[in-house]
Amino acid sequence: MPFSWIKGKLKAADSPFLRNVGWLGGSTALIRISRLLATIILARFLTKSDYGLAALVITINEFILVFTRNGVGTKLIQADADHVDILSREAYWLNWLFFIGLFLAQILTAFGVSWIYHDQRLILPICVLGLVLLIMPIGLVQAALIQREGRFKVIALAQLAQVSTDNILSALFAIAGLGLWAIVLPKVLVAPIWLFLMLKNHSWRPQGKLTSKHWGELMGFGSSILGVELLQTLRNNLDYLIVGRFLSLESLGVYYFAFNAGAGISLGIINSTKASILSHLSEARDNIRQFRNRYFQSLRVMGSLIVPLVLVQSTLAPLYVPIVFGERWTSAIPILILICLSVIPRPFADSASQLLIAINKTNWDLAWNILFTSIFAAALFIGVQWQALGVAIAVLVSHWLCLPLFTLFSSRFAFKHLAQTQSP
């Protein structure tokens, strides 16, 4: 086959969206490979109880971090060009107000969680992780503007540098015998890497006095997005909370290991490409035909990335888990397979969610997430009656029943709405 023909095909398939997905997906794949290597070492040096404690600490931190995804950055990505400068200045100061409050909230939460789970070992790690919240506001506006400009190569390389270093340090600290702290400490130590790369790659800096004229606009746009992020974070971590509270820390350790060793790679790719999908769609919002083509392109790209990966992981799990991670984790294999398979409908539903945001129908997305979270929580409380395996079955069934319906109906109603608003 002539080289020129191959080159022509690759050029024809090229697009900013595919390049962005390539950078984000590629960096996430490399990150997950480093995470896999770290997980192998952690699995051999940490106890199941250590894993359970780490799962609770990381889960609580995720619930605090969800408030950092309050839609302010998304508004900067989506805003009209003539409003970006003033919104960026006000977003900077609004972020500081948010993050200082979140830091204090994380400290208070640490004491409440230790009381609920009857374990004071949770207090200090949760408080230490809160230090990251005092670093992030310095570079968040720059990160949003980089995404707005479509320079996802920068975002991808920053993620790669930060998280890969985190994984390497986790492995080294585990070997050194730090236990739970092998997972907690690196996340604080690598935060300056992300900050340095954001400041280095964008010239924007805060100027002028603190003003709050447009805070209402920033928060009004972000309120539904924050609601969606809260509900998604609740769904992503509710199974951990239920297993840890109603079963045991050891059961949670097994479940947490199964999730990270199985679905972690696929979900990492899905989460890292969300901003690229939104940017890709927002650029074509005024042209319904191009908008539709871009949306279905995103579905095809995400499906071609995730579905084969999930099928390979779930099929080979009985072979690689005992060999790679050790015989003591064989009890996690059925859970790992079920969690893996639950990922398949997720990229399509996430693309549909970005579709609704792109047409300013965040309230539709919020309403759906309220409904799905209620169904998901009910399924988990039923499933926990059959231990951790029952929880994994509940995760699989709820995702396969609900997410395809959401993708289908949100796509249909979104294009119908767009056609009506753009008709002469």
If pLDDT is split at 50, 70 and 90, which confidence band does 10 have? very low
Give the per-residue pLDDT at 284: 65
Across 309-329, b (16+ Cβ under 10 Å) vs e yields: bbeebbeebeeebeeebeeeb
Report the alpha-carbon distance of residue 233 to residue 248 in Å, rounded: 22
pLDDT over 70 (residue 16) = no
pLDDT over 80 (residue 5) = no
CA distances from 190 to 95, 146, 160, 180, 274 (A): 20, 20, 11, 17, 23
Listing DSSP states for 248-300 in one string gives -HHHHHHHHHHHHHHTHHHHHHHHHTHHHHHHHHHTTTT-HHHHHHHHHHHHH
pLDDT (mean) for 56-82: 77
Give 310-333 pLDDT, tens digit per residue. Answer: 888 888 888 888 887 778 788 888
Chain centre to alpha carbon of residue 364: 20
Give the per-residue pLDDT at 181: 92
Average per-residue pLDDT for the chain = 80
Listed range (51-55, 254-258, 266-270, 392-396) with the worst mean pLDDT: 266-270
Locate 253 and state its tokens: 């350790």
When comparing pLDDT for 236 and 337, which is higher? 337
Question: Is 0.95 topped by the overall pTM?
Answer: no
pLDDT above 70 as % of the chain? 82
Give the per-residue pLDDT at 21: 58
pLDDT over 50 (residue 4) = no
If pLDDT is split at 50, 70 and 90, which confidence band does 6 have? very low
When comparing pLDDT for 162 and 361, which is higher? 162
Give the per-residue pLDDT at 1: 41
